[in-house]
Amino acid sequence: MRGGLADTFRFLETSSPSERRALLASTLGWMLDGMDVTLYAMVIPALLREFHLSTSQAGALASVTLIASAAGGILFGFLADRAGRRSALMLSVAVYSVFTAACGLSRGVTELAAFRFLLGLGMGGEWATGAALVAETWRAEHRAKALGLMQSGFAVGYAVAALIAELVMPRWGWRVVFFVGVCPALLTLWIRRHVDESPLWVERRLQRHPTVPPHGSPVADRVREAASSRPTYYLKMVLVTLAMNSAALFAWWGLFTWIPAYLALPQAKGGRGLSIAASSRWIWTMQLGMWLGYVTFGFLSDALGRKTTYVGYLLLAAALVPLYARAGSARALLALGPLLAFFGTGHFTGFGIITAELFPTSFRASAMGLTYNFGRALSAGAPFAIGAIAARRGLSAAFWISALAFLLAALLALALPETRNRSLKEQ
pLDDT in tens, 351-396: 989 998 888 888 888 888 888 888 877 887 887 788 778 778 777 7
Kindly report the average pLDDT of the chain as a whole number: 81
* pLDDT above 80: residue 347: yes
CA 364/CA 135 separation, integer angstroms:
10
pLDDT tens digits for 197-206?
888 888 877 7
Domains annotated for the chain, with CATH where assigned, are 17-202 (1.20.1250.20), 232-427 (1.20.1250.20)
CA 26/CA 366 separation, integer angstroms:
17
CA 317/CA 331 separation, integer angstroms:
19
Instruction: Give the dihedral sign, CA 414/326/246/419.
Output: negative
* pLDDT above 70: residue 84: yes
* pLDDT above 80: residue 283: no
pLDDT tens digits for 138-178?
888 888 888 988 988 888 887 787 778 778 878 888 898 88
**H/E element holding 116?**
helix 109-137
**Which region among 71-75, 279-283, 292-296, 302-306 has the lowest average model confidence (pLDDT)?**
279-283
At residue 296, the pLDDT reads 92
Instruction: Give yes or no for a contact between 133 and 89, defined as CB atoms under 8 angstroms apart.
Output: yes
Angle between helices 306-325 and 400-413 (to 10 degrees): 170
**pLDDT-based confidence at 278, cuts 50/70/90?**
low
pLDDT tens digits for 206-236?
765 454 444 444 434 443 444 455 788 888 9
Residue 162's closest CA among 252, 288, 280, 263?
280
C-alpha angle with apex 338: 333 to 340, nearest 5 degrees? 85
Q: What is the mean pLDDT of residues 18-42?
A: 82
**H/E element holding 156?**
helix 140-172
At residue 414, the pLDDT reads 95
Say if residue 400 is exposed, middle or buried (CB neighbours under 10 Å; 0-12, 13-18, 19+).
middle
Overall pTM > 0.75: yes
DSSP for 384-416 reads HHHHHHHHHH-HHHHTHHHHHHHHHHHHHHTTS
pLDDT tens digits for 115-145?
989 988 888 888 888 888 888 888 888 888 8
Distances (CA, A) of 116 to 100, 176, 179, 235, 408: 7, 16, 14, 31, 30
Q: What is the mean pLDDT of residues 89-99?
A: 88
* pLDDT above 50: residue 181: yes
* pLDDT above 90: residue 247: yes
* pLDDT above 70: residue 306: yes
At residue 1, the pLDDT reads 40
**pLDDT-based confidence at 337, cuts 50/70/90?**
confident
The percentage of residues in the chain with a pLDDT greater than 90, rounded to a whole number, is 20
**pLDDT-based confidence at 323, cuts 50/70/90?**
very high
